[in-house]
């Protein structure tokens, strides 16, 4: 009876941890989608420090993705913390550059009174602190979780969809750097490039979401349903 009780506790802890990781990825998707809408919808190309912060956001997503696919591990959270440190350093550098001159209006538009690099710093801070707290919650680690890949269901399909969406955003970010930077250094103050317009930017984001949902569904359907060995 005690063994069954412990198994139930571990199973619920893993489920809650998976949902937390999935929500973290959803939050990062909001940030990445907003940056892409600013770039393609309003023609605001990212600066070098902006690219560092975007890379940090993608790196921050690596830990939750690994947790969902292969099981919850402290090392996966550690990867996200390291990415948050790198991205946070880039956002801190950009904040300091613009507050050094009181007359500096800052780079890019402001959202709710703060520029995007300030919001990026807040995101990295929350991400690093959240990962540290989750590392201290040892119950999911004791369950020896093997990830969502083994058992078909709504959670697995949503996970695959979100992971596909982040992957597509990362590809778009990587490919969009080439016209701006080529094979050399990116310009400090890049000129405004072509714009799809406000509707065009939102349409691109929605199209990416639809493609991701299709990919998530197809991968979920084609992946075999493995025997249940732990929480699945």
Closest CA to 71 of 127, 140, 19: 140
| Residue 214 neighbours by CB under 8 Å, 6+ apart | none
Cα gap 142→149, rounded to integer Å: 19
Considering the domain boundaries, does residue 152 fall inside one?
yes
Determine, yes or no, domain membership for 56: yes
CA distances to 8, 72, 106, 141, 167 from 15, rounded to whole Å, are: 11, 10, 42, 12, 23
Q: Is the pTM of this model over 0.75?
A: yes
**Mean pLDDT of the region 65-89:** 95
- Average model confidence (pLDDT) across the chain: 86
DSSP 46: P
Strands of the chain, DSSP E: 110-111, 114-115
pLDDT for position 230? 44
Q: Could you give the CA distance from residue 196 to residue 219 in angstroms, rounded to a whole number? A: 31
Which of residues 193 and 48 earns the better pLDDT score? Answer: 48
Share of the chain above pLDDT 90, in %: 49
End-to-end, the C-alpha distance of the chain in Å comes to 21
Q: Which pLDDT band holds residue 194 (cuts at 50, 70, 90)?
A: low
Using one digit for the tens of pLDDT, what is the confidence trace for 16-31? 999 999 999 999 999 9
Q: Where does the pLDDT of residue 228 fall: very low under 50, low under 70, confident under 90, or very high at 90 and above?
A: low
The structural domain count of the chain equals 1
Per-residue pLDDT band for 196 (boundaries 50, 70, 90) equals confident
For 139-148, how does the pLDDT look when each residue is reduced to its tens digit (9 = 90+)?
999 888 888 8
Q: Is residue 28 part of a domain?
A: yes
pLDDT at residue 20, rounded to an integer: 95
Poorest-pLDDT segment among 3-12, 23-32, 143-152 = 3-12
On the CB side of 29, how many CA atoms lie within 13 Å of its CA?
22
Residue 80 lies in a domain: yes
Output the pLDDT for position 27.
Answer: 93
pLDDT of 83 > 80? The answer is yes
Q: Average pLDDT for residues 149-167, to the nearest whole number?
A: 90
pLDDT at 200: 81
Q: Residue 231's pLDDT is what?
A: 45
Quick check: is 230 in a domain? Answer: no
17 domain residue, yes or no: yes
pLDDT of 154 reads: 86
The distance from CA 14 to its chain's CA centroid, rounded to whole angstroms, is 20
Sign, CA dihedral 99-101-105-109, equals: negative
**Residue 136 forms part of a structural domain:** yes
- DSSP string for 154-166: HHHHHHHHHHHHH
232 within a domain of the structure (yes/no) = no
Q: Among all chains, which residue has been given the structure tokens 């979780």? A: 145
Domain that holds residue 195: 2-222
- How far are the Cα atoms of 112, 140, 144, 215 from residue 65, in angstroms, in the given order? 30, 16, 17, 16
Q: Which residues, other chains included, contact 91 with Cβ-Cβ below 8 Å and sequence gap of 6+?
A: 49, 53, 56, 117, 118, 120, 121, 124
- What was the pLDDT predicted at 5? 54
Tokens at 57, concatenated: 């956001």
Residue 1 has a pLDDT of 55
CB neighbours of residue 97 within 10 Å: 15
pLDDT at 211 (0 to 100): 96
Residues 6+ apart with CB under 8 A from 81: 63, 127, 128, 131, 132
């Amino acid at each position: 009876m005690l063994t069954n009780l412990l198994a139930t506790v571990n199973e619920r802890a893993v489920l809650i941890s998976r949902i937390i990781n999935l929500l973290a990825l959803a939050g990062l998707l909001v940030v990445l989608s907003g940056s892409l809408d600013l770039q393609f919808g309003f023609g605001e190309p990212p600066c070098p420090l902006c690219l560092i912060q975007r890379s940090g956001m993608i790196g921050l997503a690596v830990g939750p993705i690994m947790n969902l696919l292969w099981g919850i591990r402290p090392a996966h959270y550690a990867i996200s913390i390291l990415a948050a440190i790198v991205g946070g350093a880039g956002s801190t550098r950009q904040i300091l550059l613009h507050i050094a001159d009181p007359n500096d209006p800052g780079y890019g538009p402001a959202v709710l009174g703060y520029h995007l690099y300030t919001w990026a710093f807040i995101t990295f801070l929350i991400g690093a602190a959240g990962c540290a707290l989750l590392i201290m919650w040892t119950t999911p680690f004791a369950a020896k979780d093997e990830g969502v890949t083994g058992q078909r269901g709504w959670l697995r399909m949503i996970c695959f969809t979100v992971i596909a969406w982040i992957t597509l955003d990362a590809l778009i970010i990587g490919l969009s750097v080439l016209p701006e930077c080529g094979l050399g250094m990116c310009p400090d103050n890049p000129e405004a490039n072509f714009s799809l317009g406000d509707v065009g930017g939102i349409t691109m984001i929605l199209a990416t979401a639809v493609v991701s949902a299709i990919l998530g569904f197809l991968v979920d359907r084609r992946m075999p349903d493995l025997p249940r060995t732990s929480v699945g």
